Structure 1
Amino acid sequence: MNRKNSLFDALVVKRVVATVSALLVIAIACGAGIWQVSRAHGKIALAANLLERQQMPILNANTNSWALEEASERRMIARGSYIPEAAIWLDNRPQPVPSGGAGAAAKAGFYLMMPFRLEGRNEVLWVNRGWAPRNRENREILPSTDTPTGIVNIEGIVFAHPGKVYALGSEDSNVDIHKPRIAQNFDLEREGQLHGWSQAPFILRLEETGVADGLVREWAPLTTGVDRHYAYAFQWFALAFAGFIFWLIGGLRQYWRKSVANGD
């Protein structure tokens, strides 16, 4: 009993600062590791849900006023005409990298958001037409792209928004809505108020491929980065284990030295 108590004293009682520090490191590292695992599982679940919803019947934007809840992440077709003079170029967007792709994720550019007036309906549908690279010398120079004229048919996937990036301050309130502009983020409600038109409560991410209009639409899957999350989680759990081992070895060395000095 005394031996056990002396071991406990050597590990914990006489090393309160070291024990508290080790517990803190282990708690933080385990928490971070669990968070990384949860992010990976969240991406996998989102990707599975997206795939399931894409296999549902295709919606038609011209036949009904769809709510976000019923249309989100589903495929949708639409017929109408683009309004290029009201386009918004969303800055600081990484180039989409399809499954199996590599090497281009760090390249920055724009998402081209363009309103699409639905045929036969007094309603506008905002469309994420794709990605284009940014001019390296002058970011104010917009990429050269082609926009179809007249009535066209498009198809894509419905999302609540095109994704958000960190922005310092708010968007400029004095904007010219009659010409293309650069913005950090897209506010669907604000655009409806600025233009004074009725619009769908979601955006459509275009899924066209093989169209030479200067835009990239090889969208990255939602599971992109899952392996990285698992790798980060392993590193955090390894740090927690290393912290425990260092604490344990340090305490045992003190216990053994004391035992030798006492002739035990």
Structure 2
Amino acid sequence: MSGFRRPSWWAMLLTVVAALLFIRLGIWQLHRADFKEALLRRYAASSSAPWQDFAKVAETPPADAFPRVQVRGRYLTDRLYLLDNPKHDGRGGVEVFAPFELHGHAPLLLVDLGFLPGNGNGKAPQLSPLPATDIQLQGMYVPPPPVGFEMGGNALARQTHWPKNSIFMDPAEIARDLGRPLYPRMLALDADPASIYVREHTLDFSSMPPARHRAYAFQWFSFALAAVVMLLVLHRKRKPRPS
């Protein structure tokens, strides 16, 4: 190290703290990427898993699992909700949700009927009527779509007729709108070739997929390396200038 000057204690401390912080953040991003990839694998495997008793998972579902369940009850056919323009295709469309009432239970179960493609004219697709009689449904008990900031506040409260449109499907807003509590998760129905709905359910990590976590991890590790390089550059001995 004859080509470098001894750094001051505060420069060494600042560099070590910064490098360790950046490395810790990079490792955290890698852990998040691994966690989300594991969730995606469990989600894919859940589509063929054995049925579970809905009563055992209804109120306290496992945090890292997606049970397959069967429920019986009836739709509230006049209370449909449309998640406006989810990213399924380039023509637009809506994800359709319907509240489902189980016999003898106060909470309502929000059912994801699937995606209904648009025709490119900006108008909501035509909805088919739901059965008004008792029916048995089956699918995966999954978390609701992620909720973000909605300009203007609760869009559902400003609408007086169903189906109601929103760019976010907030269970708390839907519960207030219906005047009934909701189960903490919703039912994503199994695919049905005879249905008009496209049912290709997956976890929504579009804003932060595992690959982006790994990109951020590389960025944090680069910052750690840059902190060390900066310390070395600032304390490199300079050759004396010729007189």
Q: TM-score if structure 2 supplies the norm length?
A: 0.70
> Which residue does 1:146 correspond to in 2?
128
Aligned to 1:127: 111
Q: Distance in 2 between matches of 1:183 and 1:223?
A: 20
Structure 1 residue 230, shift from structure 2 partner: 2.0
Amino acid at match of 2:94: F
1:99 paired residue number: none
1:69 alignment partner, SS class: coil
Q: Corresponding residue for 1:226?
A: 210
The equivalent of 1:257 in structure 2 is 239
Distance in 1 (CA, whole Å) between partners of 2:134 and 2:72 is 7
Change beyond 3 A, Cα 1:107–1:42:
farther
Return the offset for 1:159.
2.6
Q: 1:204 aligns with which of 187, 196, 201?
A: 187
How many residue pairs are counted as aligned between the two chains? 235
Q: 1:44 maps to which residue?
A: 37
Quote how far apart the aligned CAs of 1:127 are: 0.4
CA contact (8 A) 1:82 1:148 kept: yes
Match of 1:171 in 2: 154
Distance 1:219 1:194 in 2: 25
**Structure 1 letter corresponding to 2:202:** A
The DSSP-based 3-state class of the residue aligned with 1:171 is coil
The corresponding residue for 1:110 is: 94
List per-residue Cα deviations over 1:78-128 (Å, max 9, x = no partner).
234433421111235333xxxxxxxx6x8865332111233x446532101
Q: Is the CA contact 2:92–2:120 (under 8 Å) kept in the aligned structure 1? A: no
Q: CA deviation at 1:129?
A: 1.6
Instruction: In structure 2, give the amino acid aligned to 1:112.
Output: V
With the length of structure 1 as denominator, give the TM-score of the two structures. Answer: 0.66
* Uncovered stretches (5+) of structure 2, i.e. residues with no partner: none
Shift of 1:32: 4.3
5+ residue gaps, structure 1: 96-103
Summarize the alignment of residues 7-46 of structure 1 with structure 2, pairs less than 5 Å apart: 7-9=4-6, 12-13=7-8, 26=19, 29-46=22-39
Q: Highest Rg: 1 or 2?
A: 1
Report the residue type matching 2:174 in the other structure: E
Amino acid at match of 2:109: L
Q: Give the SS at the match of 1:94.
A: coil
Is the aligned partner of 1:68 residue 2:59?
A: yes
Q: Secondary structure at the match of 2:115?
A: strand
Aligned-residue offset at 1:151: 4.2
Structure 1 residue aligned with 2:82, among 85, 89, 93? 89
Match of 1:78 in 2: 71
